[in-house]
Amino acid sequence: MKIKSAYFAGGCFWGVEYFFEKLDGVKSAVSGYMGGQLNNPSYKDVCSGLSGHLEVVRVDYDENQVSYENLTKLFFEIHDPTQSNGQGPDIGSQYLSAIFYTNEKEKNIAENLIDILKQKNYAVATQLISKQNNSFFEAEEYHQNYYFVHHKIPYCHSYTKRFD
């Protein structure tokens, strides 16, 4: 088993986490924050829009069971990568679409998938950001496994097939 981590921001982390947790090969999906100026920000800090953080899900996966490319395809299929001001009814800088890539191979995979979407006339707003200077801060416990704990389903996220 070779566990790796991938980092996806696709609006409210509850919905992103929900869909990744259901994927074979994913060992865990953890809600958190990345991309801002504060160390260990709180949900209140992030929601203020002043910290610069995005709501992000760290996906820990076994690369022998699921590829980074398949994770990234799912990411593009569970949120609207064309929305530039948030996700669904959640508007604000903390809800923007982004991939925090950990190496050039991941960046190239994401760029290739974005090119495919653009060829299908999607105006992709997803940002590609290097994780190098961006730490992942785990969100508060009450955000973890939110839909499972509360027996609900996502209201901002749904699955839309975009890749063949």
- Could you tell me the domains of the chain? 3-149 (3.30.1060.10)
Q: Which residue has the tokens 């950990």?
A: 102
Helix (H) / strand (E) element for 87: namely: strand 86-87
**Token code pair at residue 29:** 């999906």
The mean per-residue pLDDT over the stretch 109-124 comes to 98
CA atoms lying within 13 Å on the CB side of residue 112: 12
Residue 88: pLDDT band with limits 50, 70, 90: confident
Residue 82 has pLDDT above 90, yes or no: yes
Residue 147: pLDDT band with limits 50, 70, 90: confident
3-state secondary structure of 139: coil
Q: What is the predicted pLDDT for the residue at 98?
A: 98
Is the separation of the CB atoms in 110 and 128 below 8 Å?
Answer: yes
Q: In whole angstroms, give the CA distance from residue 33 to residue 95.
A: 11
In this structure, the dihedral spanned by the alpha carbons of residues 96, 12, 71 and 121, taken in order and rounded to 10 degrees, is: -50
The mean per-residue pLDDT over the stretch 132-156 comes to 86
Question: In degrees rounded to 5, what are phi and psi of residue 10?
Answer: -140, 50
Q: What is the predicted pLDDT for the residue at 151?
A: 80
Residue 155 has pLDDT above 80, yes or no: no
Active-site pick, 12, 46, 78, 113: 12
The mean per-residue pLDDT over the stretch 79-90 comes to 93
Residue 139 has pLDDT above 90, yes or no: yes
Residue 7 has pLDDT above 90, yes or no: yes
Is the separation of the CB atoms in 26 and 52 below 8 Å?
Answer: no
Task: Name the average pLDDT for the chain.
Answer: 94
Q: In whole angstroms, give the CA distance from residue 146 to residue 153.
A: 9
Residue 104, Cβ density class (10 Å: 0-12 exposed, 13-18 middle, ≥19 buried):
exposed
Is 47 a residue of the active site?
no
